[in-house]
Amino acid sequence: MAVSIPFPKKKVARALALRELAVLEAAYPNAVTALDYDSPFTLLIAVILSAQCTDARVNLTTPGLFAAYPTPQALAAADQADVERIIKSCGFFRMKAKNIIAAARGLVERHDGNVPDDRDALEALPGVGRKTANVVLSVAFDEAAFAVDTHVFRVSHRLGLTLGKTPRQVEDDVVKLVPADKLRHAHHWLILHGRAICKAPVPHCGVCPVAPLCPSVKLVAAAVGASAAGVKKTAARARPSARAGATPRRGRSS
């Protein structure tokens, strides 16, 4: 039977939340997006493709896509069936093909082929919601924006940073905790931690650098039948390999 781990029922105190975030910042000092890109345009398309798909799969797909359609103008004029064949492995490929072609047309028709650095203009493009806009603003334009995906939603709740029921509510809660100059990095701290340690459905609390502070340790221990004290003791001794964080690669913004 699958393990079900509830989220904490109350937020941690602000001082504790700041300590948790400081631990994550130290654990993932090189935290950047896992998506490969070389321009705001290629980042925008990659983020749209990443919905319900791993970044690794997107990175395998985009080289072929951008070889065929290297500019917004080229993608705007693409045949949808041809684009579908290229991106099929990303899932929901028909809707994604329709959206990226329409988004490219929007860039060409409204913005001279350039990706706008304005939230409203970004969200007006097909396939671009608040999360996608936040990723593009923070990564491509170094804006103080915070994107909430499934990893960020889960980790923020487990750490007691939020009780938000929606991504926007989670965003608003975390934004209140993180200084503006660090906000664009905070998404990556949380997402990398969610991928490496604070996994669904069961996190690896025994090697988690935040475990001594985390309100979910007892909840996890109760769900899996472990000792919370033992989990914290193990975590205090652990040196997880994820501590190095992500290493920047081509086209990535810090």
Catalytic residue list: 131, 149
Residue type, 186: A
Residues near 237 by beta carbon (within 8 Å), at least 6 away in sequence: none
Name every residue whose Cβ is closer than 8 Å to that of residue 213 and which is 6 or more positions away in sequence.
12, 16, 19, 20, 23
How many CA atoms does the CB half-sphere of 232 hold within 13 Å?
A: 11
**Farthest-apart Cα atoms in the chain, separation:** 60
Handedness of CA 80, 68, 55, 89 (dihedral sign): positive
Alpha-carbon distance of 160 to 219, in angstroms, equals 12
CB-based contacts of 1: which residues, under 8 Å, 6+ apart?
none
